[in-house]
Structure 1
Amino acid sequence: MAPKSSSKLTPMMQQWQAAKSAHPDALLFFRMGDFYELFGNDAVVAARALELTLTSRDKNKEDGLPMAGVPHHAAQGYLTRLLELGYKVAVCDQVEDPKKAKGIVKRAVTRVVTPGVVLEESVLDPSVNNYLCAVWPGLEGYGVIHTDVTTGSLRGTVAVGLSALLSELGRLEPAEVLLPPESEAEITAAIERFGGVVTHLSVDNFNPGQALAKSEKDAPKLIRCALGAVGSYLHLTRPVGQVPLMPLEHYSLDEHLMLEETAFRNLEVVRTLMGGRRKGSLLGLLDKSVTAMGARQLRRWLQYPLRRKAEINERLDAVSELKEDAIVRDELRSSLSEVYDIERLGGRVVAGVASPKDLCNLRSSLSRLGTLKTSLSELQAAQLTQLAERLDPLSDLQTLLENTLCDAPAQSAQEGRLIRSGFDAKVDELSGLADTGKDWILQYEAAQRERSTIASLKVRFNRVFGYFIEVTRANLHLVPDDYIRKQTISTGERFYTIELKEYETKVLSAEERRIQRETELFEALRDQLKEHASRILRSAGRVADLDVLCALAEVAHRYGYVRPHLFDDRRINLKNSRHPVVEQSMGAGEFVPNDLRLDDEHGWLHLITGPNMAGKSTVMRQVAVTVLMAQIGSFVAADEAEIGLVDRIFTRVGATDDLSRGQSTFMVEMSEAAFILSHATQHSLIILDEIGRGTSTFDGLSIAWAVAEYVHDHLGARTLFATHYHELTELARSKESVRNCHVAVREWNDEVVFLRKLQPGATNRSYGIQVGRLAGLPESVIVRAKEVLAQLEQSDVAQPRVSSEEQGVAPQLGLFAPEVVPQCSELEGAVARVDVTRTTPLEALRLIDRWQKKLKQ
């Protein structure tokens, strides 16, 4: 509900209406004295979301304007809750001192807080980047820009094809994505799946002409269009104060090992499949960082693993040296642990919102950079020596902060007590007046006690009444005649004198002038630091890199990981490989390691058979996780590891019904398989788990067989293919690079024991009934299942007959008893003509399928 006519509004409400018209899609926090007020529909929405009391500005009218408010000192908490609920909030502040205002106080929207444009610490997860993305479609693909306004990072790429775009968004999980109107529904659906907010901007905002810096002008037009949207949006949301952005970094997705969206999720790289928790993910295991910057950088390394062998080896050299030199590693980690988040502190400086506490933390952090640089200079690895050379200790800024800021500044610039004594003569003079004023008050209080003979008399101060003399009720008869009554309280009276009032004016004037002067100096200090923002952010990046390298070295040392050896061919040879996350979730020595050789000699397409729960999925995932770890520059969970560099990792490891998109389990399975077959190369790693299980046996086996053949004949990609279709193992006879292996089990007293060991050769049993018993199926079901299995294995027709308990009673057809089909000489002849020595299992299945259809006819 909004006012009907601006002509009937008060001047203040006209201000509100103008601000609201400029930001119709945001809740408007309108500053009125000590409160932020919301009006109209904003008030209704906020009252419901924040559990506020909803009132009316015109209480005497039935159609009064709804109104709700929050105290300005508590506004941040309410902003946080609204952001978590996905709302945008426009903050309209008083932009002049009410005491100096001529007429109505000027107000203006100073910022619009959105999920992707937020600098408030209380809203942010320190270990995760808060990305704002923009996407612009074109004939060559999609221009993608992502920025974190809290750190200044600005990166752009071109995603070729919708699937590449969705994978990129899935990796980044941006808080907010800027899209042009009428974008594909698949993009919006993908963003909503990971909890992002979609903001549609008009096409005019995607203007490539906004690029100014050389790095931006040289970028492809698709990227510059997306960059234009980011620039427009930041100007809209931060009309007052800059947003700190570094020069654009243009990257190519082909430079990195790419994990498709499903692979990134299925391998539990940054969160678990169940519950979406960080603990239990690969990131949760590897993150031994001691700074917020390092935690965010490690996440980025996992999102964008490397493909160039030289770059990876440089990281591995650094991790190796830090792993071996425990003394230096501990020194570095100790110094790093005392460094605050200078990346986000620098961002707050540039945005003009850094508090005295922020600058105090920045000063403390900068004092550790010199120590880090000295410790690094003792090391030999190329990446570590480069870090030592490039790490700017920012000693000049540390000195500036040390000389300007006092040791324990106030929480807010408006409180004063910010500037170090001796830095500014004017501040020292005004502080002296305030300090001597305290002594004068004590002397004045003592004199008044003596004069009035009131021993309990006190001289006090508060912000509402200023200085006053407080006398208890029992002593009111002793009050001197020149005392002027100021206030009656429950315990007595408050007075003032002309002398006290004059001194109050003098002291408060000095205090006010001191605070004003200190605020000016503090803002000047912030402006000086702002000029060096790029230096601060670059040093923050160096610290983040060092923290990640130390963290990976700590992990390697703590868990006994080894350095992987990298090659350009298609090998993946692992000795005593373990799944790093599963291993740590088990007791010491409980995880069963496995050897694996994927190469030209030992085959690069392995068909893995074995029962459910035997460990097939774990083996396959640990291979993919090992490759991923190696290509971020980490040591790996194995005794030995030789890895040919991988360009992409694909997984097809289980599907759930996607009812929201109208896709069944089998449709999802086939879509993922089709994507893999269309995009994998001979340098890819493919993990396939139970292809074809979502349909009938013959259809599923046929599809699985054809997929395996296609991977072998056309892709040549390293592939681990787990299956319950034991007929597939026949492929090893006809396909040169196919090998069979199985996860071993043993039977003991009609029970199955999982050995978790990968062994060469196929198995022809799935042990499904034994697994069913372990899962808790009723014993009667287990007994009947064994009977049916025996009949199926012995019968010419694969259908169960009546149970043993029903034998001896009147003949009765079993539920699945076959119909009697007349003899057909044509079919008999067809069967007789089949040469079983030359017929493949797949061809035999097709013949059987054809004969069955004829019988049904």
Structure 2
Amino acid sequence: MAVQPNQQFSMDPPAQQSFVRFFKNLPEKLDTTIRFFNRSDYYTLHGSDALFAAQEVFKTTSVCKMIGAEPHKTEGVILNKGHFETFVRDLLLVKQYRVEVYVNQGSSKNHNWILEHKGSPGNLAHFEDILFGNNDIVVGVSVIAVKLGTEGKSRVVGLSCVDVVSTSILVAEFQDNESFSNLEAIIVTLAPKECLLIQGEGSYEFQTLKQLIERNNAMVTLRKRNEFSSDSIIDDLNTLIKFKKGQKQNAQSLPEVNLNLAMSATSALIKYLDLTSDEGYMNQFSLKQVEQSRYIRLDSAAIKALNIEPQIDTASNLHGNPTASVLTLLDKCRTAQGHRLIAQWVRQPLRDLSLIKERHDIVELLVQNNELRSVLNDDYLKRIPDLQQLAKKLARKKSTLQDCYKIYLCVSYLPKLLEQLSPEANVTALKTMIINPLKELIEDMDKFQQLVEQTIDLDAAEKGDFMVNPGFADDLKELKDAMDETEERIQRQLGKAADDLGLEAGKTFKLESNQQFGYYFRITLKEEKILRNNKRYTILDSNKTGVRFRNNKLSELNDDFVAARNKYLEKQKDVIAEIVGIAAGYSETVRTIGGVLACLDVLTAFASAAVSANKVYVRPKMVPSEEGELNLIQVRHPCLEMQQGVDYIANDINFKRDQYHFCIITGPNMGGKSTYIRSVGVAALMAHIGSFVPCDRATISLLDCILARIGADDSQLKGLSTFMMEMIETAAILKTATCNSLVIIDELGRGTSTYEGCGIAWSIAEHLARDIRSYCLFATHFHEITKLVEEVPTIQNHHVTALVEDDKLTLLYKVKPGICDQSFGLHVAKMANFPPDVIEFARRKQAELEDYQSVVFEGSDNPQKKRKIIQEAETLISQFLKKCKTLDVTSLSDADLESEVLSLKEEVLSHKNPYIEALLDASS
């Protein structure tokens, strides 16, 4: 259980009454907004926020106290600074809530509370010190804005995305359909945490848009329409953009500003993030159009279906295991920028064959060279700080000497890193992507390294004390000499005190220092008794590491040292400001180094994942789209095979355009259909991001889309039924897929009646196979769909196998050609320990509902022969019914009509179809 709060509300009853009245008059807020009240020494939350915080932080609401009196009374809970920071980090980065922090500018009795800080998942500016002060940012933080418009009769979408870590503004403007499938593809690529929309839009179109954004796990924030005005956008961009050398220094000349809707969205983001008021952002941003054509198109259903990112408690997650994701499996990165980049890459599979092969070249080298891979992971990459975050601080001139020292140390490692890589310079991709850029960047950082060496006390920095080099100014040198002299006298106190206490200096008796106490003595807890009743020594504190204490002389010397150090720190402020001002000029170089090292980190992670798998991944052979091949031999699901106790059964897929590119898979529940089709999708995605794949051999033509519809993913909390969600996702697939797309469909049509669902599934399958000609894996329980092979030659039937012996079902998880000729639902129910009487009743009801489908006739023991006989029978019956409809019922007498029908019946019986004869026998 979390530590309980020990502070008390420092308000007398009248002050409590006054505060509660103020609190209850605050504007109404959403449940996903949490309000904190900063009371200097601690923070408080009230009302429903207090109950929520108590449960989240302390796991009990008993810590809540009622403050005020009727009718002005409310709950309150206290958080110390540590609890506050942890809770805020969880709210913004994990739960994706909004946070508001109020401060009181009046006295405790006169409540003049104002909103000082506010944050949201996409706007962390006010909370960066809390969130990332001592931590690297391992998650991407971007926010988008969307504005809709029209062009003739077409719907047009304007989008802008701002990432303050990479200081980039990405814009796009495009036509879209009523389900916004183009917008969804971009949102999947960008993975924003938050999206700004214009408030007051109540149309069906707006609701569809809002649902799409929430479906992609982004928070929707509504803003006033006037914030989307682009009147001042040119001035704002001139302030924010860093123009390239030789480029006209005016945003008006940039082609992106002609995208009117995108510029309106950009304007809203600039206002929301308040970018122009921060000098550190001036002339730091790049402005580019979203390069969607570079990447394979993914939909949100594919992200979930393929378990690309960790998900908890969702239908598409493998066994509800949050680690069962492609990202978690591959992310063996050692740097913060690597973690961010790999999360970006898994959502941005490449469509450029050359770039994919370059990544594969480097991964192959690192897979084969165990020593190099190990050295990179253990000796170099783990030492790299978050250079992109440090570059941001440099640019904003908010860096400290410690930040500069971190960059200095990192750049110092790089020549040694290059030494490790240089023997492999014959690998062109490594030389082009990593070695050559790093060489140039190290040269560009030469003067920065000199600046640090001349201005920072490197000896002190090694001990964790960051100060300006005393040789930099005469008055600093005098203070440093005084500090050194005092330190020498302090060191001599160790021996004197050790002799006085009869202990051995440097072993059980030590002299130490820290920021809190300065210099002090420490002994182990075992020796604590020698200090009892010894008035010459004052105990500071004791814990499991020992007892910390001082004598009078050490206290005097420590005070002298602290006083001299404080003077030193005060005098060096101007020098630090000058250093930071000069260092700011290197922000772009530092950011670029971070990008190159992030790339190396991700590719090393791919190699580490490949060799640490149960069976080493292989390099896929990537070929142009025109070759039309998707050939995976013994493909495995990378997440499932890593789970303990799983002996994975691998399978093949051999698609070749215009020969066989559509696979219908039937078989029992839990038999492996879903896992098989997901494994193909995951392998294709891994290949396109530059990773090796879990196969024995793989040949993959370049894809343009990976689209999915898997499982009954209820979205009722978002106002969508299972069936509606299914239809929306499938409609998007039909509008998007091409002959170069991989489509994965599982259990389509289960949200409506059996016959209607089967009809929908049939028509979708036929359209994908015959008209679009996508690579498609189509798992279904509608066995009728397997008859499509008779109409479309590029379709094949496969099934997952199972063995029934003594009424026991053994699932074999092997995919074989042909259809599954029986249902195993009752066997699965038995495996799930259904009561025997329920299973028996189900068996009887099944026979009833199948209505003659279980009729035995000559040839029914052979599935292929049975299907042919029934198909012939259905044709004869259909013809009989058509002829009956043509009879003139108005002119014929009843006797003549009966005679005609009997004649038609005899005509059908003359074919001697076994199925029709069996039906007539069963009905008589």
The interval holding the TM-score normalised by the smaller chain is: 0.7 to 0.9
Partner residue, 2:223: 201
**2:190 maps to 1:182:** no
Give, as a single letter, the amino acid of the residue that structure 2 aligns with 1:205. Answer: E
Q: Contact 2:456 / 2:466 at 8 angstroms: preserved in 1? A: no
**Partner residue, 2:12:** none
For residues 390 and 817 of structure 2, the distance between their equivalents in structure 1, rounded to whole angstroms, comes to 56
Distance in 1 of aligned mates of 2:491 and 2:337: 50
Q: Is the 8 A contact 1:356 1:411 kept in 2?
A: no
Q: 1:345 to 1:475 in 2, by over 3 A?
A: closer
Q: Distance in 1 between matches of 2:727 and 2:762?
A: 14
Partner SS, residue 199 of structure 1: strand
Matched, 1:131 2:189: no
How far, CA to CA, are the matches of 2:766 and 2:212 in structure 1?
32
Residues in 2 aligned to 1:677 and 1:157: alpha-carbon distance in whole angstroms: 23
1:396-454 C-alpha deviation (Å, 9 max, x unpaired):
323433443334768999xx85223433332221233455567899999xxxxxxxxxx
Distance 1:591 1:662, change over 3 A: same
**How big is the shift at 1:169?**
3.1
Helix, strand or coil: the match of 2:639? Answer: helix
Q: What do the CA deviations read for 1:501-526 (whole angstroms, capped 9, x no partner)?
A: 9x999998755442212233233322
Does the alignment pair 1:573 with 2:610? no
Q: 1:142 to 1:399 in 2, by over 3 A?
A: farther
Residue type at the aligned position of 2:636: R
Deviations 1:437-486 (A, max 9, x none): 67899999xxxxxxxxxxxxxxxxxx99x9xxxxxxx999xxxxxxxxxx
**Contact in 2 for aligned 1:170/1:190 (Cα 8 Å):** no
SS in 1 for 2:764: helix
Instruction: Tell me the residue number matched to 1:300.
Output: 344
Q: 1:185-210 CA deviation, whole Å, 9 max, x = no partner? A: 33434444565433333344332423
Could you tell me which of 471, 475, 490 is aligned with 1:426?
475
What is the distance in 2 between the residues matched to 1:226 and 1:409?
A: 49
Name the amino acid aligned to 1:578: R
The reply on whether 1:552 has 2:606 as its aligned counterpart is yes
Q: Distance in 2 between matches of 1:120 and 1:831?
A: 87
Equivalents in 1 of 2:426, 2:707: separation in Å?
A: 37
Partners of 2:488 and 2:217 lie apart in 1 by 59
TM-score calculated relative to the size of structure 1: 0.74
Do structure 1's residue 225 and structure 2's residue 269 form an aligned pair?
no
SS of 1:337's equivalent? helix
Cα deviation 1:628-679 (Å, max 9, x = unaligned): 0111111111111111111111111112333234433223222322222222
SS in 2 for 1:188: helix
1:400 aligns with 2:451: yes
1:237 CA drift (Å)? 9.2
Q: How far apart, in 2, do the equivalents of 1:249 and 1:29 lie?
A: 38
Residues 688, 720 of structure 1: CA spacing in aligned structure 2 closer, same or farther, 3 A cutoff?
same
Rounded to whole Å, the distance in 2 between the matches of 1:203 and 1:49 is 33
1:369 pairs, out of 401, 404, 414, with 414
Indicate conservation of the 8 Å contact 2:136/2:386, yes or no: no
Question: Which residue does the alignment assign to 2:650?
Answer: 593
Query: Are 1:707 and 2:801 counterparts?
Result: no
Change in Cα spacing, 1:108 to 1:248, as seen in structure 2 (3 Å) is: farther
Partner secondary structure for residue 120 of structure 1: helix
Select which of 377, 380, 383 maps to 2:426: 380
Relative to structure 1, is the Cα distance of residues 234 and 584 closer, same or farther in structure 2, using a 3 angstrom cutoff?
same
Q: Hey, what does 2:887 align to over in structure 1?
A: none
Give the superposition deviation at 1:53: 9.2
Of 521-530 and 270-279, more deviation after overlay is shown by: 270-279
- Asked whether the equivalents of residues 112 and 236 of structure 1 are also in contact (C-alpha less than 8 Å), the reply is no
Task: Kindly indicate whether the alpha-carbon contact (under 8 Å) linking 1:291 and 1:340 is maintained by their aligned counterparts in 2.
Answer: yes
**SS of residue matched to 2:383:** coil
Q: Partner of 1:537 in structure 2?
A: 591
Is the CA contact 2:803–2:812 (under 8 Å) kept in the aligned structure 1? yes
Q: Which residue of 2 aligns with 1:147?
A: 162
Distance 1:92 1:601, change over 3 A: same
| SS of residue matched to 2:98 | coil
Contact 2:275–2:281 under 8 Å retained in 1: no
1:449-468 correspondence to structure 2 within 5 Å: none
Distance 1:53 1:778 in 2: 47
Aligned residue for 2:274, secondary structure, equals helix
Pick one of 792, 797, 803 that aligns with 1:740. Answer: 797
Q: Deviations over 1:737-785 (max 9, x none)?
A: 1111111222222222222121112222122222221122222233344
Once the two structures are TM-superposed, the CA of residue 689 in structure 1 deviates from its matched residue by 1.3
In structure 2, relative to structure 1, the CA distance for the partners of 1:835 and 1:526 (3 Å cut) is farther
| Residues in 2 aligned to 1:717 and 1:543: alpha-carbon distance in whole angstroms | 38
SS of the residue corresponding to residue 749 of structure 2 reads coil
Equivalent of residue 380 in structure 2, options 305, 327, 335: 335
1:791 CA drift (Å): 5.9
C-alpha contact 1:152 1:244 (8 A) present in aligned 2: no
Distance 1:827 1:703 in 2: 35
Tell me which residue corresponds to 1:813: none
* 1:260-291 per-position Cα deviation (integer Å, ceiling 9, x unaligned): 01111111101134497651101111112121
Q: Alignment partner for residue 626 of structure 1, among 683, 687, 691?
A: 683
Q: 1:248 and 2:287 equivalent?
A: yes
| Match 1:310 to one of 339, 354, 357 | 354
Alpha-carbon offset, residue 626 of structure 1: 1.0
C-alpha distance in 2 between matches for 1:74 and 1:352: 30
Structure-2 change in CA distance of 1:221 and 1:831 (3 Å): farther
Residue 303 of structure 1 aligns to a residue whose secondary structure is coil
1:443 and 1:771 map into 2 onto residues whose CA distance is 80
2:567 is the counterpart of 1:521? no
- SS in structure 2 of the partner of residue 377 of structure 1: helix
Distance 2:641 2:558 in 1: 71
- 1:669 corresponds, among 690, 701, 726, to 726
Query: Residues of 2 paired with 1:622 and 1:741: CA distance?
Result: 16
Q: Deviations over 1:56-96 (max 9, x none)?
A: 9xx999999999998889874565466467234468899xx
Q: Contact conserved, 2:216 with 2:300, CA < 8 A, in 1? A: no
Deviations 1:132-156 (A, max 9, x none): 2222323363233333323434433
Deviates more, 1:47-56 or 1:230-239: 47-56
SS at match of 1:591: coil
For residues 260-339 of structure 1, the aligned pairs below 5 Å read 260-272=299-311, 273-274=316-317, 278-333=322-377, 334-339=379-384
Measured in 2, the distance between the counterparts of 1:766 and 1:725 equals 11
Amino acid at match of 1:129: G
Identity of aligned residues (%): 28
Maintained 8 Å contact 1:211/1:224: no
Change over 3 Å in CA distance of 1:522–1:370 after alignment to 2: same
Shift of 1:27: 8.7
Q: By how many angstroms is 1:227 displaced? A: 2.4
Q: CA deviation at 1:385?
A: 0.8
The answer to whether the 8 Å contact 1:176/1:198 transfers is: yes
CA distance change for structure 1 residues 532 and 666 in 2, over 3 Å: closer, same or farther?
same
Equivalent residue for 1:564?
620
Q: Which amino acid aligns with 2:652?
A: D
Give yes or no for contact 2:338–2:602 (8 Å, CA) kept in 1.
Answer: yes
In structure 2, what is the equivalent of residue 814 of structure 1?
Answer: none
Q: Distance in 1 between matches of 2:733 and 2:567?
A: 70
Counterpart in 2 of 1:350? 395
**1:211 has 2:237 as partner:** yes
Query: Is contact 2:43–2:81 with CA below 8 Å preserved after alignment?
Result: no
| More divergent stretch after superposition (678-687 vs 666-675) | 666-675
Q: Which amino acid aligns with 1:431?
A: K
By how many angstroms is 1:538 displaced?
0.7
Letter in 2 for 1:218: P
Taking a change above 3 Å as real, the CA distance of residues 198 and 651 of structure 1, as seen in their structure-2 partners, is closer
Q: Secondary structure at the match of 2:286?
A: coil
Tell me the residue number matched to 2:544.
Answer: none
Residues 1:635 and 2:646 aligned together: no
